[in-house]
Structure 1
Amino acid sequence: MSRATVLACLVSTSVLALTVATASPAQAAGVDYVALGDSYSSGVGAPGQSGTCLRSNYSYAAQWAAKNSPTTFQFLACSGAVTDDVVKTQVPAMSSAADLISITIGGNDAGFASTVLTCLTGSDTTCTAKVNAGKTYVATTLPGKLDSTYAAIKAKAPGAKVVVLSYPNIFDTSAVICEMSSTKRKALNSGAQVLDDMIKSRVAAAGFTFSDVRDNFSGHGVCAAKPYLNGLTIIPPQNSYHPNSSGYTNGYLPALTSAA
């Protein structure tokens, strides 16, 4: 597969499936758990992805369900999802009796895939300009999108505890050799910080719980000695710049566990 094909695959489309995974009746009584969100919640980057939503049993959501045996588990997170997809497709499909809801959302709204593509193929200047455009969107448009999404979740399941997880900083900026320049890596990490800080503020306004994964991923970015995220990946290309199994197990799972 050519580099061009790999890069093109980074620009994801929002195709949602309504497949619902339900825990078996033999499981102990507990919470009714719903996993919403985008590829960072569906498990892209880990082995065993399936269906149009690319869900994996190595995702933090599936791992939490396996360890905690909730009464029911609805796995609705979908690769490529934006806030509108959560409101229009995922929230209507979830149970109003949910006790616990987790979600990552906002990265695709802010242009994650196209920004990474620009930084891979363009100059430092072009990359920085693209990241700055994303920051402007995060400051001006994304807050309303997040507020509407959180309001829809609250309206559908008013009794649920909602845990909103952050995104990690993607790159190790100390590595001498890496697939992107230091300038590009710092710019992309800066964009992630701005995105996470905005998500945190809107989560607080909604009265939900914000769980920050950035410390868990610190020192484990792309190009680190023990990365928790995939770099540019040839097969399958969608794994590029998503958590690997270690990232979901050691980065995201503890963040959900501590907040649930």
Structure 2
Amino acid sequence: MSETRLARPRRIIAIAAVAAALLALPMGAAPAFAAQPVPVAKYVALGDSYGAGQGAGAPLDSCLRTTLGYASQIGAVPRFNLLRLPACSGATIDQVSARQLGYVNQGTTLVTITAGANDLNIGGVYAACAPDETSVACQQAIAAATAAIQTVGPKMAGLIGAVHARSARATIVVTGYPEPFAAGAAAADPLAAVVNAASDALDAQLAGAVLAEATTGVPAVFVPISFGAHAIGGADVPWIGGDPTDPVTFFHPNVLGYAAYRDAILGVLP
């Protein structure tokens, strides 16, 4: 008998064994195949002191970047590669556009932006009003912030569009800012209530800018942030600096606060 005739029964037996194994699987089950690897996101973090991670440890440079801000925490997740962290303390939206946008290129697939608070100078409002809420300096600071709020939305929309123009495939995540003061603290202190209201108004402008760009097909999403009882004066462990004599940490998240940012951002990504 030839070699070919000998091999044929063996092949039939092997095929029958495979079929029997498949039939033995539970209903709806399927043989396991190797999962497709998740692409690594090429990540660039733009923005102000919140984007830089100010308040989460010892500053590394004049931009007050730290190794434990939300961008660095996201970069520690295996499927993200933090390529650049140009975010810098004090940056306005215009300064992000002028000084940081160049770090985004066609290879970038994720961009986060936290900016706008410096356009309103919310910290400056608190500093001007804390000594005397009836002072001329306080009223001028509030008036300047009120006038500036209307410019935030168009500026952020322009920045989002510019990022998209540099990398059409990048997902753009714009974060909001938490109310610095817990609800109880804001109810007891008119100045705290003013600061919280300014943060809310800022977030509304940022969210509106994202929505306007998203409706044109830009892959942009707004992520609101809330610290709840972890805000200044809250009942839980603080996630934000509450000592006005420490300008580095005051009104800035600590490591736990930036972890909340990290989780909120990761929650909107595939």
Alignment TM-score, normalising by the size of structure 2? 0.76
SS at structure 2 position matched to 1:101: strand
**Residue from 172, 175, 178 that aligns with 1:168:** 178
* Aligned match of 1:55: 65
| Structure of higher RCO (CA pairs closer than 8 Å, 6+ residues apart) | 1
Cα deviations across residues 150-192 of structure 1 (Å, max 9, x unaligned)?
Answer: 12111111110000000000012414xx9x9610111110111
Distance 1:209 1:239 in 2: 28
SS at structure 2 position matched to 1:239: coil
Match status 1:78 vs 2:85? no
Listed as ranges, the gaps of 5+ residues in structure 1 are 1-27
Contact 2:126/2:191, CA 8 A, preserved across alignment: no
Match status 1:201 vs 2:216? no
Contact 2:72/2:82, CA 8 A, preserved across alignment: no
C-alpha displacement of 1:112: 2.1
Distance 2:86 2:126 in 1: 25
Contact 2:71/2:82, CA 8 A, preserved across alignment: no
Contact 1:29/1:71, CA 8 A, preserved across alignment: no
Distance 1:104 1:40 in 2: 6
* Aligned match of 2:194: 187
* Aligned match of 1:156: 166
**Residue from 225, 228, 231 that aligns with 2:239:** 228
SS at structure 1 position matched to 2:44: strand
* Aligned match of 2:114: 104
C-alpha displacement of 1:95: 2.9
SS at structure 2 position matched to 1:108: helix
Contact 1:33/1:74, CA 8 A, preserved across alignment: yes
Distance 1:79 1:224 in 2: 26
**Aligned sequence identity (%):** 29
| CA RMSD of superposed structures (Å) | 2.2
Which structure 2 residues correspond to residues 1-260 of structure 1 after superposition, within 5 A?
30-123=40-133, 127=138, 130-131=141-142, 133-139=144-150, 141-175=151-185, 182-207=189-214, 208-214=220-226, 217-225=227-235, 226-235=237-246, 237-249=247-259, 251-260=260-269
Between the two proteins, the alignment pairs up a number of residues equal to 225
Contact 2:210/2:221, CA 8 A, preserved across alignment: yes
* Aligned match of 1:14: none
Contact 2:45/2:71, CA 8 A, preserved across alignment: yes
Cα deviations across residues 234-256 of structure 1 (Å, max 9, x unaligned)?
Answer: 45x2211111111111x211111
Distance 1:222 1:78 in 2: 24
SS at structure 2 position matched to 1:205: helix
C-alpha displacement of 1:124: 5.7
The residue identity in structure 2 corresponding to 1:229 is I
C-alpha displacement of 1:72: 4.9
Distance 1:228 1:72 in 2: 24
Contact 1:37/1:77, CA 8 A, preserved across alignment: yes
The residue identity in structure 1 corresponding to 2:155 is K
- Identify if the C-alpha distance between structure 1 residues 131 and 192 changes in structure 2 by more than 3 Å, giving closer, same or farther: farther
The residue identity in structure 2 corresponding to 1:153 is V
Distance 1:220 1:257 in 2: 20
Distance 1:104 1:166 in 2: 7
Contact 2:123/2:251, CA 8 A, preserved across alignment: no
Q: Which range is displaced more, 182-191 or 226-235?
A: 226-235
SS at structure 2 position matched to 1:167: coil
Distance 2:129 2:188 in 1: 9
Contact 2:152/2:202, CA 8 A, preserved across alignment: no
The residue identity in structure 1 corresponding to 2:199 is A
